Structure 1
């Protein structure tokens, strides 16, 4: 047995161990999907693969419980692929290497994939454990949740018969979610004219690293540093004080992760190199002082590097840096209806230099359609003024809270009976698939819950072992007490 398989509940952890061993980043879930399909066939369970690749696995009710309401138990099988800069890892080929650290399971230099691998493992464990008591169960395992919600978008009406949906994609023990934010991607394109490097200029690599990163919904209110924003601020400040030409700029890898690292290649005249380095040190010290309470490991460096073959034209460089500094980022508005909940936010998640174009991507989230439209307008307007193209794509709806939800009330009461305390009933500022499910299955009574997962979408991701045991107890007890059909 592996170390994970010796944890309790052993069946859940065994499945999670297997999931970690099979590469499954977003849009590359095929190997994991095939493994699950073969397991379901070997188990003799009814299996269906829909047209977009979602898996639906059915398990009959325990004898005598056939008249209970049908439950759809749901998770997504893709994970966010993030690795530390000093970790060589190919997420399409290499397994995740989980390890136990006290009460936590972590990965080695990468995201762990507990989001939503623990939920998927729990779904499979319910299917595998014939000692459990439950009514009819359908397990829905969706694809590509993290990079576009392709699976949820493509789920057709009529495939599932259940009345209740239990989503396992929440990340805090003791909290039950009854609503979530919707979102949309802003894809921005700056076309530039490549120019020759001025003769006699020196090249430098500017790097921002050591930030905490994190989930662009769950952690957005914590004022963590955004590497893309910090890099843009540094470049604009240096440009205002010295001659500077930009050759390359990049930062972040996913629009739904707060960027931890960003870098640029810049050129300055030979007689200004010393002054630029001194000014960079001054600006870096100011940023480190500004963020010292939340980003103690922030590192900013400027090192000589090989001279590139081209630079951006001056006009595009000016417009690009000004727009990146002006680009909204972080919390835009807190909810007036639900205390302590972020209503609207945006994350400047990705910057890439590709050929003769700089690509920028932001993820806009809001609990309200009007809030989302406002930030869409703000973003489009800003980048239009900067002479860039801004295209919006991948919009998905939020999940409106239903305070009268019967399954939410039952989960609340079950939690109190098991653990002696009521859970917090929450609305999450992140994109759960529940909002999209409502479009095809408007009658579903839905709730989302899960164990404590910290640092999701970053290599600091970890899952709390005792919380997983509590989650399993809560889930299986809830399934055993689903009410009868009306």
Structure 2
């Protein structure tokens, strides 16, 4: 069967992306896609080096006559966020991602597309195979676990690369050059809870929240999209104002970098209270739609009876403290930039909640443009958690990044963008985290910028990428590589 991508330009790029969509590549399990990269390197006669954590670097020789030019590093990450619609039986480990083309957009059917960062990987491979692009020596640096904890970039062996100009291909707006990004850190919160038998006359019910957009917790946080865990917690708090309930479990969210789209709680309530509980659902659903409906109109809230769980619920005190904790923890934009009022300065994402027998584990993902401000957010999360009797652990920290004042990469990009677009690009600092942060720590003094095609709704099943923007992105990349000798 002919692929729906086979007619798209540039052919080499889309051919690689077509192959990548059939290869399982969740964060932390990139072995299959690494095999694909190594096979292509062998076919092309390129050198291959790997470090201890799985990052891979390919050495691409220069075009004839350009051997003495500076080495340029093209960098992208191999993993992808694996999200799917509720109720979908899609198995990322077995099935290729089902794609379709509608107008200027490539999208997937009910799952993440993997354009983040599959297009970057495909572009790096394709441009080095493209005989029409004259270039000096190139290193292709493909990192692992970017979407998980940035562990590939944070643990990169500095001897893996020799180039001092690095082009990160992981930005998501094709008309801009990214010259800085926020730093970030995750917080794991462990809340210990006691279980006890539910009082007589109480029955188990399930409260579900879904239908939300979700999205990237850095790039979409300013849109004030709904957070399913926070909405769930607010409803449970309303119940507790009127009636004692006993939570058996709360589950929601997936990746720390994704705003939760779905969440649910199983709890015990008096059978006679169910009609009032349903009435409250109708009331709060209307209120939430007034609050978030402009940006997140698909909200669904459902209350239904469920089978009796195999374990008892949390007792009254544990339930109340847990619900208060979920309501007290910060979420969303915490501060806008004082220097650039339209730019988010600090934020945090109440990303996931998981229930075990005697504990509930929450994950928060925080970001800020300044390390001092990030520390303040982390201190707030720690303080709120400890007031509820929970313990915290900070993980996956990385620092903010800003471009060099005298940047060769920046000069190359400005010239290439002006040629392709006919105008100067926007130069922006983004609130999303990029591998440029940890890479700047592992490779001190390296000259970096980031750019990429237009990708919408990354980290969600509605992710899509603009075909025309991919063409422009590829043209800019090729032109930059050709210009290296005149600007370095």
Shorter chain as denominator, the TM-score bin is over 0.9
TM-score scaled to structure 1, two decimals? 0.98
1:371 and 2:373 matched: yes
Asked whether the 8 Å contact 1:214–1:458 carries over to 2, the reply is yes
In the TM superposition, residue 128 of structure 1 has moved relative to its aligned partner by 2.1
1:31 match = 32
Q: Where do 1:342-353 residues align within 5 Å?
A: 342-353=344-355
1:207 alignment counterpart: 208
Partner of 1:425: 427
Task: Return the match for 1:409 from 393, 408, 411.
Answer: 411
- Long gaps (5+) in structure 1: none
For 2:450 and 2:279, locate their aligned partners in 1 and report how far apart those are by CA, in whole Å. Answer: 51
Cα displacement string for residues 225-254 of structure 1 (whole angstroms, at most 9, x for unaligned residues): 111110000001111112211111111111
Counterpart in 1 of 2:41? Answer: 40
- Paired residues for 1:380-459 under 5 Å: 380-459=382-461
Distance across 1 between alignment mates of 2:36 and 2:415? 36
Deviation sequence 1:386-408 (CA, Å, 0-9, x none): 00011111111111243432321
Q: Deviations over 1:139-174 (max 9, x none)?
A: 000000000111101112222111210000000010
Q: Residue 117 in 1 paired to residue 115 in 2?
A: no
Shift of 1:202: 1.8
* Residues in 1 aligned to 2:152 and 2:293: alpha-carbon distance in whole angstroms: 40
Match of 1:303 in 2: 304
- SS state of the match for residue 6, structure 2? helix
Superposition map of 1:182-193 within 5 A: 182-193=183-194
CA contact (8 A) 2:411 2:487 kept: no
Aligned to 1:338: 340
**Counterpart of 2:271?**
270
Q: What corresponds to 1:131 in structure 2?
A: 132
Q: Partner residue of 2:470? A: 468
Q: What corresponds to 1:312 in structure 2?
A: 314
Please report how far the alpha carbon of residue 5 of structure 1 lies from its aligned counterpart in structure 2 after TM superposition: 2.0
Q: d(CA) in 2 for partners of 1:372 and 1:56? A: 32
User: Is the Cα contact below 8 Å between 1:188 and 1:390 reproduced in 2?
Assistant: yes
**How far 1:485 sits from its partner (Å)?**
8.5
Are the equivalent residues in 2 in contact too, given 1:344–1:367 (CA < 8 A)?
yes
Tell me which residue corresponds to 2:57. 56
| Partner residue in 1 for 2:168 | 167
SS of the residue 1:482 aligns to: helix
For residue 86 of structure 1, what is the aligned residue in structure 2? 87
Which stretch has the larger CA shift, 10-19 or 266-275? 266-275
SS in 1 for 2:21: helix
Q: Distance in 1 between matches of 2:95 and 2:201?
A: 44
Q: Distance in 2 between matches of 1:341 and 1:84?
A: 31
Question: Is the CA contact (8 Å cut-off) linking 1:69 and 1:484 kept in structure 2?
Answer: no
Offset at 1:326? 1.1
Distance 2:32 2:419 in 1: 40
- Tell me how far 1:409 sits from its aligned partner: 2.6
TM, length-normalised to structure 2: 0.97
Separation in structure 2 between the aligned mates of residue 272 and residue 446 of structure 1, nearest angstrom: 60
Structure 2: gaps spanning 5 or more residues: none
SS of residue in 1 equivalent to 2:282: helix
Would you say the 8 A contact 2:167–2:450 is kept in 1? yes
**Within the alignment, does 1:18 sit opposite 2:14 as a pair?**
no
Q: Report if aligned partners of 1:173, 1:450 keep a CA contact under 8 Å in 2.
A: yes
Superposed displacement of residue 105, structure 1: 0.6
Of 312-321 and 206-215, more deviation after overlay is shown by 312-321
The answer as to whether partners of 2:83 and 2:112 remain within 8 angstroms in 1 is yes
Which residue is equivalent to 2:482? 480
C-alpha RMSD of the superposition: 1.3
| Residue of structure 2 in register with 1:154 after alignment | 155
Aligned residues: 486
1:203 is paired with a residue whose SS is strand
Work out the CA distance in 2 between the residues paired with 1:388 and 1:291.
30
Does the CA-based 8 Å contact 2:408-2:487 persist in structure 1?
no
Runs of 4+ in 1 over 4 A off after TM superposition: none
